[in-house]
Amino acid sequence: MKRSEFSPNGNAVENLIRQTLKKHTSPIMLIRRSILEKQYRHFRAHLPKVAPYYAIKANPHPDVIKAFLRLGSNFDVASAAEMNLVLSLGGAPQRIIFANTIKSIEDIQSAYKRRVMLMTVDNEPELYKIAKHAPGARVLVRIKVDNIGSIVELSLKFGADPEHAVFLLRKAKALGLHPEGISFHVGSQCANVENYLHALEIASGIFKEAKEGGLMLNTLDIGGGFPIRHMDDDRHPIFETMAGKIRVEMARLFDKKTKFIAEPGRFFVGPAGVLITQVIGRTFRNNKNYYYLNDGLYADFSGIVFDHCKYELKTLRRGQKFLSTVAGPTCDSFDTISLSEELPELDVGSVVYAKNIGAYSSASAVPAFNGFTPAKILVVQ
Q: Which of 12, 331, 333, 340 is catalytic?
A: 331
- Residue length of the chain: 381
Query: Is 331 an annotated catalytic residue?
Result: yes
Stretch 240-269: mean pLDDT, rounded? Answer: 97
Partnered with residue 183 across adjacent β-strands are 142, 221
CATH of domain 33-269: 3.20.20.10
Q: Report pLDDT for 106.
A: 98
Q: Are 290 and 325 in contact (CB under 8 A)?
A: yes
Q: Do domains 3-30+271-380 and 33-269 have the same CATH topology?
A: no
DSSP 160: B
Q: Report pLDDT for 191.
A: 82
Q: How far is residue 326's CA from residue 337's CA, in Å, rounded to a whole number?
A: 5
Angstrom distances, CA of residue 369 to CA of 330, 342, 366: 8, 28, 6
Q: Are 53 and 261 in contact (CB under 8 A)?
A: yes
Q: Report pLDDT for 148.
A: 64
Q: How far is residue 356's CA from residue 270's CA, in Å, rounded to a whole number?
A: 5
Q: Are 264 and 226 in contact (CB under 8 A)?
A: yes
User: Which sequence spans correspond to the domains of the chain?
Assistant: 3-30+271-380, 33-269
CB atoms within 10 A of CB 323: 13
The CATH architecture assigned to 3-30+271-380 reads: Beta Barrel (2.40)
Q: How far is residue 96's CA from residue 49's CA, in Å, rounded to a whole number?
A: 18
User: 95: exposed, middle or buried (C-beta count within 10 Å: 0-12, 13-18, 19+)?
Assistant: middle
pLDDT, tens only, 14-38: 999 999 999 999 999 999 999 999 9
| Helix orientation angle between 193-212 and 165-174, rounded to the nearest 10 degrees | 50
Q: Residue 158's pLDDT band (boundaries 50, 70, 90)?
A: confident
